[in-house]
Structure 1
Amino acid sequence: MAHVSYLLRVYLEDRPGSLGVLAVQLGSVGADILSLEVVERGNGYAVDDLVVEVPPGSLPDSLITAAEKVNGVRVDSIRPYSGVLDTHRELELVDQVATASRNDRLQVLVDNAPRVLRVSWAMVITKASGGVLQLFGSSGAPETPLTRADWLPLEHAAQLDAEGDWVPGAWQEMDTRLAAAPIGSNEKVVLLGRIGGPDFRPSEVARLGYLAGIVSTVLRADE
Protein backbone atom coordinates (compact mmCIF):
# COMPACT_ATOMS: atom_id res chain seq x y z
CA MET A 1 0.00 0.00 0.00
CA ALA A 2 1.11 3.53 -0.78
CA HIS A 3 1.96 6.04 1.90
CA VAL A 4 -0.67 8.66 2.75
CA SER A 5 -0.12 12.41 2.90
CA TYR A 6 -1.83 14.94 5.14
CA LEU A 7 -1.83 18.73 5.26
CA LEU A 8 -1.31 19.73 8.86
CA ARG A 9 -1.83 23.35 9.94
CA VAL A 10 -0.19 24.15 13.26
CA TYR A 11 0.22 27.13 15.56
CA LEU A 12 3.57 27.13 17.29
CA GLU A 13 5.72 29.46 19.32
CA ASP A 14 8.06 31.33 17.00
CA ARG A 15 11.29 30.49 18.76
CA PRO A 16 14.52 28.77 17.69
CA GLY A 17 14.30 25.00 17.64
CA SER A 18 10.52 24.68 17.95
CA LEU A 19 10.12 23.35 14.42
CA GLY A 20 12.92 20.86 14.96
CA VAL A 21 11.27 19.50 18.09
CA LEU A 22 8.01 19.22 16.18
CA ALA A 23 9.73 17.30 13.38
CA VAL A 24 11.21 14.85 15.91
CA GLN A 25 7.81 14.26 17.50
CA LEU A 26 6.16 13.66 14.12
CA GLY A 27 9.00 11.32 13.21
CA SER A 28 8.31 9.31 16.34
CA VAL A 29 4.99 8.18 14.80
CA GLY A 30 6.55 7.46 11.40
CA ALA A 31 5.69 10.77 9.71
CA ASP A 32 8.03 12.46 7.25
CA ILE A 33 7.69 16.20 6.56
CA LEU A 34 7.59 16.67 2.77
CA SER A 35 7.10 20.43 2.68
CA LEU A 36 6.67 23.41 4.96
CA GLU A 37 5.01 26.73 4.22
CA VAL A 38 4.83 29.62 6.67
CA VAL A 39 1.26 30.89 6.40
CA GLU A 40 1.59 33.71 8.90
CA ARG A 41 3.86 35.12 11.57
CA GLY A 42 2.67 37.22 14.47
CA ASN A 43 3.94 38.45 17.81
CA GLY A 44 5.72 35.39 19.13
CA TYR A 45 3.86 32.77 17.09
CA ALA A 46 3.81 31.24 13.63
CA VAL A 47 1.16 29.42 11.61
CA ASP A 48 2.69 26.74 9.40
CA ASP A 49 1.29 24.33 6.84
CA LEU A 50 3.14 21.02 6.81
CA VAL A 51 2.61 18.27 4.26
CA VAL A 52 3.50 15.04 6.03
CA GLU A 53 3.62 11.50 4.74
CA VAL A 54 2.69 8.57 6.98
CA PRO A 55 2.80 4.80 6.53
CA PRO A 56 -0.35 2.98 5.40
CA GLY A 57 -2.81 2.42 8.21
CA SER A 58 -1.57 5.33 10.33
CA LEU A 59 -4.34 7.33 11.93
CA PRO A 60 -4.38 11.11 11.59
CA ASP A 61 -5.14 11.35 15.31
CA SER A 62 -1.63 10.07 15.98
CA LEU A 63 -0.20 13.10 14.18
CA ILE A 64 -2.27 15.46 16.30
CA THR A 65 -1.27 13.70 19.51
CA ALA A 66 2.42 13.74 18.57
CA ALA A 67 2.42 17.37 17.48
CA GLU A 68 0.66 18.64 20.59
CA LYS A 69 3.18 16.95 22.86
CA VAL A 70 5.46 19.85 21.88
CA ASN A 71 5.11 22.77 24.27
CA GLY A 72 3.45 25.70 22.53
CA VAL A 73 2.12 23.72 19.55
CA ARG A 74 -1.57 23.49 18.68
CA VAL A 75 -2.98 21.69 15.64
CA ASP A 76 -5.55 23.86 13.89
CA SER A 77 -6.60 21.36 11.22
CA ILE A 78 -5.59 18.19 9.42
CA ARG A 79 -6.77 17.15 5.96
CA PRO A 80 -5.81 14.48 3.43
CA TYR A 81 -3.45 15.97 0.87
CA SER A 82 -3.22 14.86 -2.74
CA GLY A 83 -1.82 18.01 -4.34
CA VAL A 84 1.44 18.45 -6.17
CA LEU A 85 4.30 19.80 -4.08
CA ASP A 86 5.59 22.94 -5.74
CA THR A 87 7.12 26.15 -4.53
CA HIS A 88 5.83 28.76 -6.99
CA ARG A 89 2.19 27.86 -7.19
CA GLU A 90 0.76 31.34 -7.72
CA LEU A 91 3.24 32.22 -10.47
CA GLU A 92 2.54 28.96 -12.28
CA LEU A 93 -1.20 29.59 -12.12
CA VAL A 94 -0.84 33.12 -13.50
CA ASP A 95 1.20 31.68 -16.37
CA GLN A 96 -1.44 29.01 -17.02
CA VAL A 97 -4.18 31.65 -17.11
CA ALA A 98 -2.17 33.97 -19.36
CA THR A 99 -1.41 31.26 -21.91
CA ALA A 100 -4.92 29.79 -22.01
CA SER A 101 -7.31 30.79 -24.77
CA ARG A 102 -9.32 33.90 -24.00
CA ASN A 103 -12.59 32.07 -23.32
CA ASP A 104 -10.94 29.47 -21.08
CA ARG A 105 -8.98 31.72 -18.74
CA LEU A 106 -11.43 31.87 -15.85
CA GLN A 107 -12.08 28.13 -16.09
CA VAL A 108 -8.32 27.54 -15.84
CA LEU A 109 -8.29 29.81 -12.80
CA VAL A 110 -11.01 27.94 -10.89
CA ASP A 111 -9.69 24.52 -11.95
CA ASN A 112 -6.28 25.25 -10.42
CA ALA A 113 -7.08 27.60 -7.54
CA PRO A 114 -7.97 24.77 -5.11
CA ARG A 115 -4.49 23.25 -5.47
CA VAL A 116 -2.70 26.59 -5.35
CA LEU A 117 -4.64 28.10 -2.44
CA ARG A 118 -5.32 24.83 -0.62
CA VAL A 119 -9.09 25.02 -0.65
CA SER A 120 -11.83 22.53 -1.54
CA TRP A 121 -13.35 24.35 -4.52
CA ALA A 122 -13.48 27.60 -6.44
CA MET A 123 -16.03 29.37 -8.59
CA VAL A 124 -16.48 32.67 -10.38
CA ILE A 125 -19.81 34.35 -9.74
CA THR A 126 -21.37 37.66 -10.68
CA LYS A 127 -24.34 39.68 -9.55
CA ALA A 128 -27.33 39.16 -11.81
CA SER A 129 -30.88 40.43 -11.90
CA GLY A 130 -32.74 38.63 -9.15
CA GLY A 131 -29.72 36.90 -7.67
CA VAL A 132 -26.36 35.37 -8.54
CA LEU A 133 -25.00 33.79 -11.69
CA GLN A 134 -22.25 31.18 -11.49
CA LEU A 135 -20.01 31.63 -14.51
CA PHE A 136 -17.34 28.99 -13.84
CA GLY A 137 -16.80 26.28 -11.23
CA SER A 138 -14.09 23.79 -10.31
CA SER A 139 -14.60 20.11 -9.71
CA GLY A 140 -15.99 19.70 -6.22
CA ALA A 141 -17.96 22.95 -6.39
CA PRO A 142 -21.28 22.58 -4.53
CA GLU A 143 -24.27 21.28 -6.41
CA THR A 144 -26.51 23.45 -4.23
CA PRO A 145 -26.51 26.80 -6.05
CA LEU A 146 -25.81 30.15 -4.49
CA THR A 147 -28.87 32.36 -4.96
CA ARG A 148 -27.83 35.39 -2.90
CA ALA A 149 -24.64 37.32 -2.35
CA ASP A 150 -25.58 40.30 -0.22
CA TRP A 151 -21.93 41.31 0.03
CA LEU A 152 -21.67 42.07 -3.69
CA PRO A 153 -20.26 44.33 -5.02
CA LEU A 154 -16.94 43.50 -3.33
CA GLU A 155 -14.14 46.06 -3.25
CA HIS A 156 -11.28 43.89 -1.99
CA ALA A 157 -10.40 40.34 -0.96
CA ALA A 158 -12.10 39.23 2.24
CA GLN A 159 -13.07 36.25 4.35
CA LEU A 160 -16.86 35.98 4.32
CA ASP A 161 -19.26 35.12 7.12
CA ALA A 162 -19.73 31.38 6.67
CA GLU A 163 -22.86 31.48 8.81
CA GLY A 164 -24.53 34.37 7.01
CA ASP A 165 -28.14 33.85 5.99
CA TRP A 166 -27.08 34.08 2.33
CA VAL A 167 -25.03 30.86 2.66
CA PRO A 168 -26.96 27.78 1.45
CA GLY A 169 -27.81 25.35 4.24
CA ALA A 170 -25.93 22.50 2.55
CA TRP A 171 -22.77 24.61 2.57
CA GLN A 172 -23.19 25.39 6.25
CA GLU A 173 -23.81 21.73 7.10
CA MET A 174 -20.39 20.92 5.60
CA ASP A 175 -18.78 23.69 7.69
CA THR A 176 -17.56 25.50 4.59
CA ARG A 177 -15.32 28.52 5.21
CA LEU A 178 -15.50 31.14 2.47
CA ALA A 179 -13.35 33.88 0.97
CA ALA A 180 -13.67 35.97 -2.17
CA ALA A 181 -11.89 38.59 -4.22
CA PRO A 182 -13.04 40.83 -7.08
CA ILE A 183 -11.84 39.83 -10.50
CA GLY A 184 -12.19 42.22 -13.40
CA SER A 185 -14.91 44.25 -11.64
CA ASN A 186 -16.33 44.55 -8.15
CA GLU A 187 -19.49 42.70 -9.21
CA LYS A 188 -17.58 39.63 -10.46
CA VAL A 189 -15.59 37.62 -7.92
CA VAL A 190 -13.68 34.42 -7.46
CA LEU A 191 -15.24 32.60 -4.50
CA LEU A 192 -13.31 29.97 -2.56
CA GLY A 193 -14.72 27.28 -0.26
CA ARG A 194 -12.77 25.26 2.29
CA ILE A 195 -14.87 22.41 3.64
CA GLY A 196 -14.34 21.72 7.33
CA GLY A 197 -11.99 24.67 7.80
CA PRO A 198 -9.68 26.02 8.89
CA ASP A 199 -10.58 29.70 8.66
CA PHE A 200 -8.75 31.77 6.10
CA ARG A 201 -5.81 33.54 7.70
CA PRO A 202 -5.28 37.24 6.84
CA SER A 203 -2.17 36.30 4.86
CA GLU A 204 -4.20 33.81 2.80
CA VAL A 205 -6.81 36.46 2.04
CA ALA A 206 -4.00 38.81 1.01
CA ARG A 207 -2.54 36.15 -1.32
CA LEU A 208 -5.97 35.64 -2.86
CA GLY A 209 -6.24 39.38 -3.43
CA TYR A 210 -2.82 39.59 -5.08
CA LEU A 211 -3.59 36.62 -7.32
CA ALA A 212 -7.00 37.97 -8.32
CA GLY A 213 -5.45 41.37 -9.04
CA ILE A 214 -2.83 39.89 -11.37
CA VAL A 215 -5.41 37.76 -13.16
CA SER A 216 -7.63 40.83 -13.54
CA THR A 217 -4.75 42.59 -15.27
CA VAL A 218 -4.33 39.65 -17.64
CA LEU A 219 -8.05 39.72 -18.43
CA ARG A 220 -8.05 43.47 -19.07
CA ALA A 221 -5.28 42.98 -21.62
CA ASP A 222 -7.84 41.08 -23.72
CA GLU A 223 -10.29 43.97 -23.80
Structure 2
Amino acid sequence: MLLRVRVRLPDRPGSLGRVARTLGAAGADVVQMAVLERGNGRAMDDFTVAWPSGAGVDRLAEGLGSVPGVEVAGIWPTAEPQGGCPDAAVIGQVAAVPERGARILADAVPAILSADWAGLAEPAGEDAAVVVHASVGGRAGAAVAGLLPLRPRAFTAPDGTEFAVCPLAKGSVALVVARTGAPPFHRTEVSRLEQLAGAADAVLLGDRSSG
Protein backbone atom coordinates (compact mmCIF):
# COMPACT_ATOMS: atom_id res chain seq x y z
CA MET A 1 0.00 0.00 0.00
CA LEU A 2 0.99 3.62 -0.34
CA LEU A 3 1.37 6.11 2.49
CA ARG A 4 1.84 9.85 2.53
CA VAL A 5 4.39 10.92 5.15
CA ARG A 6 4.60 14.62 6.06
CA VAL A 7 7.61 15.78 8.03
CA ARG A 8 9.15 19.03 9.24
CA LEU A 9 12.93 19.00 9.13
CA PRO A 10 15.94 21.30 9.30
CA ASP A 11 16.54 23.03 5.96
CA ARG A 12 20.23 22.24 5.71
CA PRO A 13 22.44 19.85 3.73
CA GLY A 14 22.12 16.23 4.79
CA SER A 15 18.72 16.46 6.49
CA LEU A 16 16.77 15.14 3.52
CA GLY A 17 19.21 12.27 3.07
CA ARG A 18 18.86 11.25 6.72
CA VAL A 19 15.08 11.20 6.41
CA ALA A 20 15.25 9.10 3.22
CA ARG A 21 17.68 6.65 4.82
CA THR A 22 15.45 6.36 7.89
CA LEU A 23 12.43 5.62 5.71
CA GLY A 24 14.39 2.92 3.91
CA ALA A 25 15.68 1.40 7.14
CA ALA A 26 12.10 1.16 8.44
CA GLY A 27 11.07 -0.75 5.31
CA ALA A 28 9.51 2.06 3.27
CA ASP A 29 10.29 2.49 -0.42
CA VAL A 30 10.18 6.17 -1.40
CA VAL A 31 8.06 6.64 -4.53
CA GLN A 32 7.80 10.42 -4.63
CA MET A 33 8.83 13.50 -2.66
CA ALA A 34 7.55 17.10 -2.69
CA VAL A 35 8.71 20.22 -0.86
CA LEU A 36 5.72 22.07 0.61
CA GLU A 37 7.49 25.00 2.23
CA ARG A 38 10.88 26.37 3.24
CA GLY A 39 11.74 29.22 5.56
CA ASN A 40 13.45 30.24 8.81
CA GLY A 41 15.78 27.29 8.59
CA ARG A 42 12.99 24.71 8.42
CA ALA A 43 11.24 22.83 5.63
CA MET A 44 8.09 20.76 5.31
CA ASP A 45 8.20 17.83 2.90
CA ASP A 46 5.74 15.18 1.75
CA PHE A 47 6.99 11.69 0.94
CA THR A 48 4.90 9.07 -0.82
CA VAL A 49 6.17 5.63 0.18
CA ALA A 50 5.31 2.03 -0.56
CA TRP A 51 4.64 0.21 2.70
CA PRO A 52 3.81 -3.46 3.42
CA SER A 53 0.04 -3.98 3.47
CA GLY A 54 -1.30 -4.56 6.97
CA ALA A 55 1.89 -3.39 8.67
CA GLY A 56 1.54 -0.80 11.41
CA VAL A 57 3.21 2.56 10.99
CA ASP A 58 4.54 2.86 14.55
CA ARG A 59 8.10 1.93 13.67
CA LEU A 60 7.99 4.34 10.75
CA ALA A 61 6.92 7.21 13.01
CA GLU A 62 9.37 6.21 15.73
CA GLY A 63 12.26 5.98 13.30
CA LEU A 64 11.58 9.42 11.85
CA GLY A 65 11.04 10.88 15.30
CA SER A 66 14.49 9.69 16.34
CA VAL A 67 16.19 11.82 13.68
CA PRO A 68 17.42 15.06 15.30
CA GLY A 69 15.27 18.03 14.33
CA VAL A 70 12.64 15.98 12.48
CA GLU A 71 8.96 16.19 13.42
CA VAL A 72 6.32 13.88 11.97
CA ALA A 73 3.29 15.98 10.95
CA GLY A 74 1.25 13.03 9.72
CA ILE A 75 1.19 9.58 8.13
CA TRP A 76 -1.91 8.50 6.24
CA PRO A 77 -2.98 6.20 3.37
CA THR A 78 -2.91 7.52 -0.16
CA ALA A 79 -3.45 6.27 -3.69
CA GLU A 80 -1.30 6.61 -6.76
CA PRO A 81 -2.79 8.90 -9.44
CA GLN A 82 -3.01 7.50 -12.95
CA GLY A 83 -0.12 8.41 -15.26
CA GLY A 84 3.07 10.36 -14.77
CA CYS A 85 1.31 13.75 -15.04
CA PRO A 86 -2.01 13.20 -13.25
CA ASP A 87 -3.14 16.85 -13.34
CA ALA A 88 -2.75 17.05 -17.12
CA ALA A 89 -4.36 13.61 -17.55
CA VAL A 90 -7.45 14.70 -15.61
CA ILE A 91 -7.86 17.89 -17.64
CA GLY A 92 -7.57 15.78 -20.78
CA GLN A 93 -10.41 13.58 -19.53
CA VAL A 94 -12.49 16.67 -18.75
CA ALA A 95 -11.94 17.94 -22.29
CA ALA A 96 -12.86 14.55 -23.77
CA VAL A 97 -16.20 14.33 -21.94
CA PRO A 98 -17.12 17.95 -21.09
CA GLU A 99 -20.72 17.14 -20.15
CA ARG A 100 -19.32 15.21 -17.17
CA GLY A 101 -16.26 17.40 -16.70
CA ALA A 102 -16.91 18.66 -13.16
CA ARG A 103 -17.75 15.17 -11.93
CA ILE A 104 -14.66 13.69 -13.60
CA LEU A 105 -12.55 16.29 -11.81
CA ALA A 106 -14.15 15.54 -8.43
CA ASP A 107 -13.68 11.79 -8.89
CA ALA A 108 -9.96 12.22 -9.69
CA VAL A 109 -8.95 14.72 -7.01
CA PRO A 110 -8.78 12.33 -4.00
CA ALA A 111 -5.85 10.42 -5.50
CA ILE A 112 -4.07 13.63 -6.51
CA LEU A 113 -4.36 15.24 -3.07
CA SER A 114 -4.18 12.11 -0.89
CA ALA A 115 -7.73 12.58 0.31
CA ASP A 116 -10.59 10.26 1.29
CA TRP A 117 -13.17 11.71 -1.08
CA ALA A 118 -14.13 14.76 -3.09
CA GLY A 119 -17.34 16.17 -4.43
CA LEU A 120 -19.29 19.08 -5.82
CA ALA A 121 -21.21 21.22 -3.35
CA GLU A 122 -23.86 23.92 -3.63
CA PRO A 123 -25.02 26.40 -0.97
CA ALA A 124 -28.04 25.34 1.09
CA GLY A 125 -28.99 28.13 3.45
CA GLU A 126 -26.70 30.53 5.29
CA ASP A 127 -24.39 28.12 7.11
CA ALA A 128 -23.99 24.95 5.06
CA ALA A 129 -23.63 23.52 1.60
CA VAL A 130 -24.93 20.24 0.22
CA VAL A 131 -22.81 17.73 -1.67
CA VAL A 132 -24.59 17.17 -4.98
CA HIS A 133 -22.01 14.71 -6.33
CA ALA A 134 -19.47 12.66 -4.39
CA SER A 135 -16.62 10.38 -5.38
CA VAL A 136 -16.19 6.94 -3.84
CA GLY A 137 -16.03 7.35 -0.07
CA GLY A 138 -18.26 10.43 0.03
CA ARG A 139 -22.01 10.76 0.30
CA ALA A 140 -24.13 12.79 -2.09
CA GLY A 141 -26.87 14.71 -0.32
CA ALA A 142 -24.82 15.27 2.82
CA ALA A 143 -24.77 18.78 4.29
CA VAL A 144 -21.31 20.10 5.18
CA ALA A 145 -21.11 22.93 7.70
CA GLY A 146 -18.30 25.45 7.30
CA LEU A 147 -18.06 25.36 3.51
CA LEU A 148 -19.44 28.85 3.12
CA PRO A 149 -18.22 31.19 1.82
CA LEU A 150 -17.20 29.27 -1.29
CA ARG A 151 -13.67 30.59 -1.73
CA PRO A 152 -10.30 28.82 -2.01
CA ARG A 153 -9.29 27.75 1.48
CA ALA A 154 -8.74 24.89 3.90
CA PHE A 155 -10.54 24.37 7.19
CA THR A 156 -11.09 21.78 9.90
CA ALA A 157 -14.66 20.66 10.62
CA PRO A 158 -15.87 20.19 14.22
CA ASP A 159 -15.60 16.41 13.83
CA GLY A 160 -11.92 16.70 12.86
CA THR A 161 -12.37 16.17 9.12
CA GLU A 162 -9.96 18.27 7.07
CA PHE A 163 -11.47 20.08 4.09
CA ALA A 164 -10.20 22.05 1.12
CA VAL A 165 -12.64 23.97 -1.04
CA CYS A 166 -12.40 25.87 -4.32
CA PRO A 167 -15.28 27.36 -6.33
CA LEU A 168 -15.75 26.49 -9.96
CA ALA A 169 -16.49 29.08 -12.64
CA LYS A 170 -20.17 29.49 -11.87
CA GLY A 171 -19.35 30.47 -8.29
CA SER A 172 -22.37 28.67 -6.88
CA VAL A 173 -20.70 25.26 -7.18
CA ALA A 174 -17.51 24.32 -5.37
CA LEU A 175 -15.03 21.50 -5.57
CA VAL A 176 -14.70 20.03 -2.06
CA VAL A 177 -12.00 17.64 -0.87
CA ALA A 178 -12.00 15.81 2.49
CA ARG A 179 -9.72 13.56 4.51
CA THR A 180 -9.51 12.26 8.08
CA GLY A 181 -6.58 11.07 10.16
CA ALA A 182 -4.30 13.44 8.26
CA PRO A 183 -2.86 16.94 8.68
CA PRO A 184 -4.77 20.00 7.44
CA PHE A 185 -4.51 20.73 3.74
CA HIS A 186 -1.39 22.78 3.15
CA ARG A 187 -1.61 26.04 1.21
CA THR A 188 0.28 24.40 -1.67
CA GLU A 189 -2.44 21.75 -1.85
CA VAL A 190 -5.13 24.42 -1.92
CA SER A 191 -3.18 26.17 -4.67
CA ARG A 192 -3.00 22.94 -6.66
CA LEU A 193 -6.75 22.52 -6.25
CA GLU A 194 -7.23 26.07 -7.57
CA GLN A 195 -5.05 25.32 -10.57
CA LEU A 196 -6.99 22.16 -11.38
CA ALA A 197 -10.31 23.96 -11.01
CA GLY A 198 -9.07 26.86 -13.17
CA ALA A 199 -7.84 24.54 -15.91
CA ALA A 200 -11.11 22.60 -15.90
CA ASP A 201 -13.10 25.84 -16.00
CA ALA A 202 -11.09 27.05 -19.00
CA VAL A 203 -11.77 23.81 -20.85
CA LEU A 204 -15.46 23.73 -20.00
CA LEU A 205 -16.09 27.41 -20.75
CA GLY A 206 -14.22 27.06 -24.03
CA ASP A 207 -16.36 24.08 -24.95
CA ARG A 208 -19.57 26.01 -24.22
CA SER A 209 -18.49 29.02 -26.26
CA SER A 210 -17.50 26.86 -29.24
CA GLY A 211 -20.81 25.06 -29.10
- Please give the TM-score of this superposition, normalised by the length of structure 2: 0.86
Supply the AA of the counterpart residue of 2:58: D
Distance (Å, rounded) in 2 between the aligned partners of 1:111 and 1:138? 5
CA offset digits 1:15-36 (Å, max 9, x no partner): 1111111122222222221221
- Say whether residues 1:32 and 2:29 are aligned partners: yes
Shift of 1:61: 0.6
Partner of 2:4: 7
Q: Distance in 1 between matches of 2:56 and 2:175?
A: 35
1:111 Cα deviation (Å)? 1.0
1:68 counterpart residue number: 65
Contact residue 97 and residue 215 of structure 1 kept, 8 A: yes
Matched residues in 2 for 1:85 and 1:41: separation?
28
Q: Which sections of structure 2, spanning at least 5 residues, go unmatched?
A: none
Q: Distance in 2 between matches of 1:76 and 1:21?
A: 17
Alignment partner of 1:205 is 2:190: yes
Which runs of structure 2 are paired with 1:70-219 in the superposition (5 Å)?
70-84=67-81, 87-100=84-97, 102-128=98-124, 132-142=129-139, 145-146=142-143, 151-152=148-149, 154=150, 156-163=151-158, 172=159, 175-219=160-204
Identity over aligned residues, as a percent?
32
Change (3 A) 1:85 1:23: farther
Distance 1:179 1:103 in 2: 24
Residues 176 and 142 of structure 1, relative CA distance in 2, 3 Å threshold: farther
State how many pairs are aligned. 207
Amino acid at match of 2:38: R
User: How does the TM-score come out when normalised to structure 1?
Assistant: 0.82
RMSD, aligned CA: 2.3
